[in-house]
Structure 1
Amino acid sequence: MAPSATETLTSTLHTLNLRPEADKPKSAPKGTSAEPAGKRNKPRWFSETAKDGDAYPYERYLPFFDADLKLPPLEPFEHIDPGHQALQDPAPRAFLDGAEVDDLTPEFGSEVEGIQLHELDARGRQQLALYVAQRGVVVFRDQDFADQSPEWMINDWCSFFGRPHIHPCSGAPKGYPEFHLVYRDSKAVFNYETDTHLTSSVVHSDVTYEQQPPGLTALFLFDSPASGGDTGYYDQRAAYKHLSPSFRGYLETLQVVHSGVEQAEFSRRGNRGGIVKREPVENVHPLVRRHPVTGEKALFVNPQFSRSIVGLKKEESDAILGLLYAHIKAGSDFQVRLRHRPRSVILWDNRITAHTAIVDFAAGGARRHGARLTPQAERPFL
Structure 2
Amino acid sequence: MAPSVAETVTTTTEQVSNGLAKINLKAGEKQDNGPAYPFYLPYWDVEEKFPKTEVFEVEDPGKRANPAKPNLLNPSTKVNHLSPYIGTEITGVQISQLSKEGLDELALYAGERKLLVFRDQDFKDIGPERQIEIARHFGPIQRHPTSGNVKGFPEFHVVYRDPEHDQFREYLGTDRANLTSWHSDVSYEKQPPSTTFFFLLEQPDLGGDTLFASQVEAFNRLSPEFQKRLEGLKAVHSAVEQAEHSRKRGGPVRREAVEHEHPLVRQHPVTGEKALYVNQGFTRRIVGYKREESEYLLRFLFDHISKGADFIVRASYKPGTVVVWDNRVTVHSATVDYPAAQRRHAVRLTPQAEIPAEVTV
Q: Normalising by the residue count of structure 2, what TM-score does the alignment of the two structures yield?
A: 0.90
* Residue matched to 1:106: 84
- 1:7 Cα deviation after fit: 3.8
- 1:14 Cα deviation after fit: 4.7
Could you tell me which of 345, 353, 360 is aligned with 1:369?
345
* Residue matched to 2:11: none
Alignment partner of 1:141 is 2:87: no
- Whether contact under 8 Å (1:170, 1:190) holds in the other structure is no
Rounded to whole Å, the distance in 2 between the matches of 1:15 and 1:378 is 41
- 1:197 Cα deviation after fit: 1.9
Alignment partner of 1:12 is 2:15: no
2:331 aligns to what SS in structure 1? strand
- Whether contact under 8 Å (2:71, 2:98) holds in the other structure is no
Q: Map 1:1-382 to 2 at 5 A.
A: 5=15, 7=17, 10-14=20-24, 16=26, 18=27, 20=28, 50=30, 53=32, 56-86=35-65, 89=66, 91-97=68-74, 98-145=76-123, 147-154=125-132, 156-191=133-168, 192-270=171-249, 274-361=251-338, 363-382=339-358
- 1:169 Cα deviation after fit: 0.3
Rounded to whole Å, the distance in 1 between the matches of 2:67 and 2:308 is 35
Amino acid at match of 1:283: H
Rounded to whole Å, the distance in 1 between the matches of 2:128 and 2:332 is 25
1:130 aligns to what SS in structure 2? helix
- Whether contact under 8 Å (1:219, 1:370) holds in the other structure is yes
Rounded to whole Å, the distance in 2 between the matches of 1:257 and 1:123 is 36
Gaps of 5+ in 2: 1-13
Deviation sequence 1:26-52 (CA, Å, 0-9, x none): xxxxxxxxxxxxxxxxxxxx6xxx4x5
Deviation sequence 1:326-378 (CA, Å, 0-9, x none): 000000010000111111000000000000000011x4321111100100000
- Whether contact under 8 Å (2:199, 2:322) holds in the other structure is yes
- Whether contact under 8 Å (1:93, 1:131) holds in the other structure is no
- Whether contact under 8 Å (1:9, 1:62) holds in the other structure is no
Q: Normalising by the residue count of structure 1, what TM-score does the alignment of the two structures yield?
A: 0.86
Deviation sequence 1:69-102 (CA, Å, 0-9, x none): 111110000111100011xx26335421120000
- 1:58 Cα deviation after fit: 0.6
- Whether contact under 8 Å (2:47, 2:252) holds in the other structure is no
- Whether contact under 8 Å (1:145, 1:345) holds in the other structure is no
2:289 aligns to what SS in structure 1? coil
- Whether contact under 8 Å (2:16, 2:41) holds in the other structure is no
Rounded to whole Å, the distance in 1 between the matches of 2:236 and 2:257 is 13
Gaps of 5+ in 1: 21-45
Are residues 100 and 316 of structure 1, via their aligned partners in 2, closer, same or farther at CA, if it must alter by over 3 Å? same
Q: Give the aligned CA root-mean-square deviation in angstroms.
A: 1.8
- 1:317 Cα deviation after fit: 0.6
Rounded to whole Å, the distance in 1 between the matches of 2:167 and 2:254 is 15
Amino acid at match of 1:177: P
Rounded to whole Å, the distance in 2 between the matches of 1:257 and 1:117 is 35
Rounded to whole Å, the distance in 2 between the matches of 1:90 and 1:333 is 27
Amino acid at match of 1:157: I
Rounded to whole Å, the distance in 1 between the matches of 2:209 and 2:264 is 28
Are residues 211 and 5 of structure 1, via their aligned partners in 2, closer, same or farther at CA, if it must alter by over 3 Å? same
Rounded to whole Å, the distance in 1 between the matches of 2:124 and 2:209 is 18
Rounded to whole Å, the distance in 2 between the matches of 1:54 and 1:243 is 49
Rounded to whole Å, the distance in 2 between the matches of 1:357 and 1:146 is 27
- 1:195 Cα deviation after fit: 3.0
* Residue matched to 1:35: none
Deviation >6 Å, runs of 4+: none
Question: Highest CA radius of gyration, 1 or 2?
Answer: 1
Are residues 137 and 258 of structure 1, via their aligned partners in 2, closer, same or farther at CA, if it must alter by over 3 Å? same
Rounded to whole Å, the distance in 2 between the matches of 1:249 and 1:347 is 31
User: More displaced, 62-71 or 320-329?
Assistant: 62-71
